[in-house]
A and B are shown apart, each in its own frame.
Chain A
């Protein structure tokens, strides 16, 4: 028995050694973003302010569950995602508080901001159409809806419906055109699929290069990443496709966009530091770091996109309230399931 107690206390001591030391001047993030650029930003922030940045990285839905269940005891100050729908979900669950900072207001494009003030954007991305330069004439492309026309039978590539970017796209169509139109679009698009949905966005581009399909729906920055790849073959694949922004016509909604954004948690224990970090991340220098490392579009309008991205030209954005992407999520999933979009 004596031994047993000894082992237990040894175990407890080990556990506390492993626990990270608590500091007072810190900030705690629950983040879905896990790119190298994020580490760079936090390191720069620490250096500038002396505030230690602690991060837990996981899937957005799991982090929401953790936040929800931790309630008042949650150590998290900020919740960072790559989808406005998840921020809406968090604010809908009463997990966030309003953010007020004149600096942030000045830093970010007001069109991208949450109308209710619960979250702020840091970058945005467009869900675009890419096409085979060899086999498709860009003049034949126009809208997302056009992808369902007969001429694209067996030519359209897209990833699975369990992917948040596709769910957000369909939610935007539900919000803009209603359930019936969205159902029709999904059902007809499935008929034009070149293969069962699978892989990532970049895999769709590779599939075009391989000749398995002619068109794909992908996020803009993936093309930027392919075009800056050090692998010659990936570069070739990236160069074999053209970028097309859909829904640009006069009466059309504009291309679907989504933001990567930050919400301030309801019980943030380090609220002041949290605001400071948001101000930092929307500042010009941090925004420049984002655009040049991850090829996203900046939320700060005074910053230019990366050279590669700029070459595609400017485009009309869908100015839908981005909270709608979260509101219509479950409807969108139901439509996916019924349409047979795997």
Chain B
């Protein structure tokens, strides 16, 4: 009775129930994974722990640290300069710094190892022209530190995007106040701006860390064994499904704990962005500062985008006569359509969860909101397999034989990438004072109207950002597509990968170029819209 009473008392029942239902459908793969954990395979687990796991876990931690360091370095400083200073090419950098997001990490890794390899352009040039220097550069570049740098270059835009939005939304009140108190610009940055932007920076960094955990192609090529390698080793090489599932569950548990701790620590220091969201007038940098600005803004762009882009462009020009343009167009359309449908679904669902979390204030919704992002921490291939298990082991689902259909593929995409779409919307929603909702409520608006009339327009920027980031991520998606795709369905990503792992980088170049161009165009277009919005407000 008590429970029923409680349920009756819940505000916005329909919203809450709706979100709980959607969440249940979405987390089925996780429930399925965890329901398998009880068939304990102690011997396999003990074996893995003794021989590899410690080593694999330490490697993973080390790789995450290096990648995070570079991602923060390449992300935060340029974001601050672009948000706060007026300098030549500022608008260009604001767009350009986004672009490495368009290059899949494995393409970045394969491209750089080709550039740096003994037969690559750098070493060949030195051998043929400057033999005395060539010995210095003749190294083994397949090292974990280099991989960390490459991943940092590929992933820093997550940090850049998150901090850029946050920096530009910190109201001038805070900045003026700090300046009146006599803080220097360096102090202002470290003592005020960074602490205020911590949640945003962390949400970007979180995506970086998740990408590293999910990375498989590049780490394998570099011979770096990570935790994910361990999962695959258990599953495929040792044929021990249960041990793999247990490892995956442990990973989920660890990430969940990190998220939980982060949540607690920010609860203590919750603050709302000033209602005065007008950005501070841009500062004119000193000449010394110019140097820092240009160095710190151009390095990530040149290394993260320009060099690999030019290399791939050059390869595809070399391969122009062998390019099958019909196929290229076909695969581009495949990639675009499947990514668009999935992205739209993701945004709708993310918005539903976040909004219900905001209006209901029930613990269950906070929990749902957290649990549904877990898809992002599970390596794509594990999700693919969990989904296969789900759709074949449950008799009711089995009869539909849905594996190999687009529904299942898109379902897996949504499950995996919900966190990506949610992150920008979340940090934007959190910035809004509660008073908006309350005022609207007293004016008699229902929750749907509030969403439509208030949150939709206010968060338009965040929604657009969420769309870009998710779309571009899906464009690059590989492991889920490989395992769940329907017959004869290739995407630009799968085709690129198939050539690249056979080291046919020349042949793969036109497909990777298409990914980069489509991704870049999306990023540029949407960045342009965002900037227009920032300037207009």
Contacts and interface: CB of A to CB of B under 8 A. Distances in A.
Interface of A: 11, 14-15, 18-20, 28, 34-36, 54-59, 61-62, 65-66, 69-71, 73, 75, 89, 159-160, 162, 167, 195-200, 202-203, 206-207, 209-212, 230-231, 233-234, 236-237, 329-330, 333-334, 337-338, 342
Contacts of B37: none
A206 B233 contact: no
Contact of A35 (B113, B117, B489, B502): B502
A342 B225 contact: yes
B388 interface: yes
A69 B237 contact: no
A62 B238 contact: no
Contacts of B486: 18-20, 56
A160 B388 CA distance: 29
A141 B238 CA distance: 33
Given A70-B401, A206-B117, A330-B239, A160 B220 contact: yes
A210 B140 CA distance: 9
A298 to B, nearest CB: 20
Contacts, number: 137
Contacts of A55: 487-488
Nearest to B340: A14
B398 interface: yes
Nearest to B338: A18
29 contacts: A14-B341, A15-B407, A18-B486, A20-B487, A20-B489, A34-B498, A34-B502, A36-B507, A54-B488, A56-B486, A57-B482, A57-B490, A57-B494, A59-B236, A69-B389, A69-B403, A70-B392, A160-B223, A162-B229, A198-B221, A198-B223, A198-B224, A199-B142, A199-B221, A202-B503, A203-B113, A210-B118, A231-B506, A329-B237
B506 to A, nearest CB: 8
Interface in B94-147: 113, 117-120, 123-124, 138, 140, 142
Given A55-B488, A338-B51, A198 B142 contact: yes
A82 to B, nearest CB: 11
Contacts of A203: 113, 117, 142
Contacts of B482: 57-59, 62
Contact of A237 (B119, B384, B498): B119
A333 B117 contact: no
A17 to B, nearest CB: 9
A134 B346 CA distance: 58
B222 interface: yes
B483 A58 contact: yes
A233 B124 contact: yes
Contact of A75 (B239, B381, B398, B487): B487
| Most chain A CB inside 10 Å of its own CB: which residue of B124, B222, B410, B503 | B503
A206 B113 CA distance: 12
Contacts of A54: 487-488
Contact of B392 (A61, A71, A160, A237): A71
Contacts of B123: 210
A156 to B, nearest CB: 14
A233 B405 CA distance: 44
A309 to B, nearest CB: 17
Nearest to B147: A198
B379 to A, nearest CB: 12
A11 B341 CA distance: 8
A62 B385 contact: yes
Given A18-B337, A197-B223, A211 B138 contact: yes
Interface string B259-283: 0000000000000000000000000
B144 to A, nearest CB: 10
The binding surface of chain B is classed by DSSP as: helix
Interface string B470-492: 00000000000011011111100
Contact of B118 (A14, A70, A195, A206): A206
Contacts of A59: 236, 482-483
A263 B338 CA distance: 32
B235 interface: yes
B487 A69 contact: no
A333 B485 CA distance: 30
Given A61-B235, A65-B385, A66-B388, A20 B142 contact: no
B397 to A, nearest CB: 11
Interface string B214-257: 00000011111100010011011111000000000000000000
A131 B89 CA distance: 52
Nearest to B222: A198
Contact of B237 (A162, A200, A212): A162
B457 interface: no
Nearest to A12: B407
B406 A330 contact: no
Contacts of B195: none
A29 to B, nearest CB: 8
Contact of A333 (B238, B341, B506): B238
A72 B446 CA distance: 51
B237 A330 contact: yes
Contacts of A56: 404, 485-487, 489
A334 to B, nearest CB: 8
A162 B228 CA distance: 13
Contacts of A11: 341, 345
A21 B225 CA distance: 42
Interface in B380-398: 381, 384-385, 388-389, 392-393, 398
B529 interface: no
B52 interface: yes
B494 to A, nearest CB: 7
A342 B219 CA distance: 13
Interface in B15-74: 47, 51-52
Given A338-B51, A342-B225, A73 B401 contact: yes
Contacts of B507: 36
Contacts of B119: 206, 209, 231, 233-234, 236-237
Contacts of B221: 198-200
Given A15-B405, A206-B119, A209-B119, A200 B487 contact: no
A19 B223 contact: no
Contacts of A237: 118-119
Nearest to A231: B119
Nearest to A59: B482
A171 to B, nearest CB: 11
Contacts of A57: 482, 490, 494, 498
Closest 9 A/B residue pairs (Cβ)? A198-B223, A54-B487, A210-B118, A61-B236, A69-B392, A233-B119, A34-B498, A337-B51, A73-B401
Contacts of A69: 388-389, 392-393, 403
Contact of B140 (A66, A70, A195, A337): A195
A209 B118 contact: yes
A162 B498 contact: no
Given A20-B488, A199-B142, A209-B118, A66 B406 contact: no
